[in-house]
Amino acid sequence: MTKISKIQKKLLIKYTFLAFVFVNRSFAQDPLAPSCESRLSPVQAGIVMEWNNYSSRDFGSGFRSGKYFLRARKYSFPYLYGIKLGRENIFEPGDLSLAALGAEFSYVFVEDSIITPTIMTGGEVSYSRNFDNRAITGGSLHALFSKEAGKIMPYFGPELKYVKLTGTGLSADSLKFNFILGVKFYTYPGASYGINFSLGSLGGWGIYFNNSW
């Protein structure tokens, strides 16, 4: 089992605070193309699915789970924020189902231009729990670089991710860096969808669909 050190915990608190003050990750790392988003309604609803595959190096044993959310978001340039509600199913170790909720915050730091990509920073917190007090707490910060062309937007960037497991067959926490790769597609009058991969020992992959009114 691995435990993060006091220094790592202090750094996590410090940079989480800075992220909320300076700029604050969309779940499934779903970034923005401001030129496309401006044609959509500011209110979005959608579905998010994410599969996590954490290395045994972090928790002493492999951990796999799937998250399935309904999500509502509000876009007001340069900010995007939202909430989500759903379930998290643990596949390894054991077989558990937990209720899950989360919140996300994002900020467009640099807007796409002829010479610059869109640079977007953000953060996410999530919490899953069942009646047996088995819980998964998670949080992440990221910076994403993207370039939209013809309603297609590839993106990439670093992610700092924290996961804590309690009573799930594994009881430990871990703080690690991942690297995000993804692509997002826009279809008018009001939909967008995409897929992303989070590469690292606390990695996984996700898909998402958004619709606007």
Q: Which fold has domain 6-212?
A: Lipocalin (2.40.128)
Look at residues 12, 21, 28 and name the one whose alpha carbon lies nearest to residue 161: 12
pLDDT at 14 over 60: no
The per-residue pLDDT of the chain, averaged, comes to 82
CA–CA dist 189, 123 (Å, integer): 28
Q: What is the pLDDT of residue 165?
A: 87
pLDDT at 102 over 60: yes
CA–CA dist 91, 148 (Å, integer): 36
pLDDT at 97 over 60: yes
Query: Quick one: average pLDDT of 45-62?
Result: 85
Q: Give the predicted TM-score (pTM) of the model.
A: 0.79
Q: What is the pLDDT of residue 25?
A: 33
CA–CA dist 102, 122 (Å, integer): 14
* Rounded percentage of the chain residues whose pLDDT exceeds 90: 44
Over the range 157-189, which residues count as b (16 or more CB within 10 Å of their CB) and which as e?
bebbbbbbbeebebebbbbbebebebebebeee
- Both tokens of 124, joined, read 């996410």
Which is more confident, 4 or 189?
Answer: 189
Which residues contact residue 115 at a Cβ distance below 8 angstroms, ignoring those fewer than 6 apart? none
Lowest mean pLDDT among 4-8, 88-92, 103-107, 196-200: 4-8
Q: For residues 17 and 24, is the Cβ–Cβ distance under 8 A?
A: no
**DSSP secondary structure of 148-167:** -BTTEEEEEEEEEEEEEEES
CA–CA dist 81, 32 (Å, integer): 12
Q: For residues 128 and 98, is the Cβ–Cβ distance under 8 A?
A: yes
Confidence of residue 16 (pLDDT cuts 50, 70, 90): very low
pLDDT at 183 over 90: yes
pLDDT at 21 over 80: no
**Domain range annotation of the chain:** 6-212
Confidence of residue 10 (pLDDT cuts 50, 70, 90): low
Q: What is the pLDDT of residue 6?
A: 59
pLDDT at 40 over 80: no
Which is more confident, 117 or 34?
Answer: 117
